[in-house]
Amino acid sequence: MKKFFVVFTASALFVLTFTRVARPWQAQVEVVSKIEKIPKNFKTYSLFLVCNPQWLAPEKSEGLYGLYRQFQSFGRTIGDDNAAVWFWKEKRHVGADSSLAENVDVERSVRFCQAWKLTPSEGPHLVVTTVYPDESSLSAGLPKGSAVYGLGSMSPKDISALLAKLTDDLIGKGQLESTPAAGTTPLALWVRLLDATQRTLNSFGCAWTFKLDAGPVNADLHACKSE
């Protein structure tokens, strides 16, 4: 009986140790090949879907590589209970060259984009869901409570800020505090008018410049600082 207890304890310790070691790399999931499935038993799944053909062009290689690096950092910081998923065709060295785009499993991403009705031109997309993204039942549509972010028009800085915010939500609260869909409730007409007035006044305020050219003294004053 004592021997059984020792064996049982050792086994339990082994399983626990293995679990603690194995989870960190699982949080950042790089699914390679078409047959490899997305691992289960995570609280949330953050899928990076590249469906936008523009991002596969050679001139976008650097941008795509930047996105992949941000995915890596995101996957490492969201904890063991949350998975960040990236689809590859095969396992190979990742660099900022045209081979990166060739190795991204676009076809697999496209299946998600089609089933979840994501507009490719707004991509790459980041979809965060608490429901396991089962590829055999994609036709059921986007799971309820999922958050979809179109990263196509965002700068690397904006993407970085978004991922930081998502990391805060996933680590701190274990879920997304505010999905992008929740923030798109239509505004009242008077609020939109007020908003338009503010934008007009702001743009008017930026329209003037003051130049002073008095021999040795030159001054060029702008109302708004242009980036």
Partner 1 sequence: MAIRKWHPGKLIILWAWGGMAAALALTGFLSSPVKEAPLQHLAELAFVLLSLLALSGVTWHWLGGRESDKQ
Q: Residue 208 Cβ, how far from partner 1 at the closest point, in Å?
A: 15
Does residue 10 bind partner 1 (CB under 8 A)? Answer: no
Q: In what order do the strands lie in the sheet with 44-49?
A: 28-32, 82-88, 44-49, 125-129, 147-150
User: Which of 198, 208, 209, 223 is close enough to bind partner 1 by CB under 8 A?
Assistant: 198
Using rule CB under 8 A, residue 197 touches partner 1? yes
- Binding of partner 1 by 210 (CB under 8 A): no
Backbone dihedral region of 179: left (phi > 0), alpha (psi from -120 to 50 degrees) or beta?
A: beta
Q: Locate the DSSP E strands across the chain.
A: 28-32, 44-49, 82-88, 125-129, 147-150, 209-214, 217-222
Name the one range near partner 1 by CB under 8 A: 100-108, 126-134, 140-148, 182-190: 182-190
Q: Does 181 contact partner 1 by CB under 8 A?
A: no
Residue 137 engages partner 1 in binding (rule: CB under 8 A): no
Nearest approach in angstroms of CB 87 to partner 1 is 36
Torsion of CA 32, 37, 43, 47, to 10 degrees: 50
Residues that bind partner 1 (CB under 8 A): 187-188, 190-191, 194-195, 197-198, 201-202, 205
